[in-house]
Every structure is written in structure tokens, then in C-alpha cells.
Structure 1
């Protein structure tokens, strides 16, 4: 893998993470909550329609989650734009550290809350978001 490809792939990582933000933001408003409700239903397999966004606490948690995910995606976008050219390996390792921290805490919480199917989905998201960043790039 080259640094040029890593630099490009960080944009994909940013989009993968950040794209969950608007979906969960939409969950804060009942008339637009269906994409978030469906996502939550998918992440807590089986698809049974039991997940709802009627409770104000769920909508508030959706606002927080959407904001954090969108902000994290934006942060990675600008790390690749402004910092990666100056410190490519440090950015790569920082993004991987953040992804691994998310993966372990989110997966442990999913299992503890009875939604272990999400831990398996997290593996797929981790592999897509990290992609080639696992390996140090050649100049």
C-alpha cells in the first residue's frame, strides 16, 4: 500500500463513519425517524420492527450519537486533508486507535445489552472503515 492510497482511503473511512450521523439525526424527528429506526432494527437482528423512536430518550440518544459520528467523520476528513501530508503514519495509527476503541466498547455494550448481532456487524464496519490502514504505507 502506498501513502497516496492511504491518503485517499481516509476519505472513505471518514464517509463510512460520518454517514451514520445524518441517519441518526433524522431519528430525532418522528416524521423522519424511519431510516434510523430501520438501522437500529438491522443492527439488533432479527429485523422484527421492535425498535422504535417514539420515546424522547431514544430520540435524544439518537441526536447525541448522530452528532458524535458526524463529528468523528469530519475530524478524520480534515486529518487526511491537513495533517496526513505532514505525519502520515501518526494519522493512520490515530484513526486505527479510534476505530479499535469504538469497536471494543460498542461491541461489549452491544453484547451486554442483549444485541450481540451488532458485535458481528461491527466486524464488517471495522474492516471497511480500516481497510488498508492496518498496514504501514510505503512512501
Structure 2
């Protein structure tokens, strides 16, 4: 893969991560929590409607999660725009490292909370977010 391809792929990475932000931010208000509840229901398969967004603590955690995910995605987009050309392998390593850290902790927490199926969904998201960034570019 070339550095140009890696730089373009960082858009994919940023969008994959940031796209979860608004979904979970909407979960902070009961009237708009449907997409967040459905997403959690999907990630804890099977779809059975057991995700409860009525508790204020759940909605607060959803707001925090949405903010962190949007911020992380925007950070990757800004690294792509302002840093990548000066340090392409450093940006690549930082993004892959961040994605791996998320994957390990999120998957471990999912297993510990009785939602092991989410580790499988996490693997799909990890592969999509990291894509060709696994390997250094050849330029």
C-alpha cells in the first residue's frame, strides 16, 4: 500500500469511529434514544429489545460515549489533515495502537459483562477501521 492510500483510508477510519458518536449522543435524551438502544441491542445479539434507556445513568453514559467517539474520529481526521504528511508512519502507528487498545478493553469488558458476542462485532469494526493501516506504506 502507498502512503496516499493510507492517507485516504484514514478517512474511513475516522468515519467508522465518529459515526457511532451521534448515535450514542442521541441516547442522552429518552425521546431520541431509539438508535442507541437498537445499536446496543444489535451488539449484544440477539435483537430482543432488552436494552433499557430509561435510566438517567444509561443516558448519561451514552452521552459521554458519543462525545468520546466523535472526538476520537475527528482527531483521526485532523491527524490525517495536519500531521500525516510530516509523520506518516507515526500517525499510522498511533491510529492502529488506539484501535487495538479500544478493541482489547472493549472486548474484555463485553465478555466480562456477559456480552461476548460484541467481541465478534468489535473484530469486524477493528478490521474495517484499520484496514490496510496494519502494514507500513511502501513509498
TM-score by length of 2: 0.99
What's the CA shift for 1:77? 0.3
Corresponding residue number in structure 1 for 2:35: 35
Count of matched residue pairs: 139
> For 1:4-23, what aligned pairs fall within 5 Å after superposition?
4-23=4-23
Secondary structure at 1:67 match in 2: helix
Corresponding residue number in structure 1 for 2:100: 100
In the aligned structure 1, how far is the partner of 2:41 from the partner of 2:4?
37
**Gapped runs of 5+ residues in structure 1?**
none
**Gapped runs of 5+ residues in structure 2?**
none
Corresponding residue number in structure 1 for 2:111: 111
In the aligned structure 2, how far is the partner of 1:13 from the partner of 1:120?
18
Secondary structure at 2:64 match in 1: helix
What's the CA shift for 1:138? 1.1
In the TM superposition, structure 1's runs of 4+ consecutive aligned residues that sit over 4 Å from their partners are none
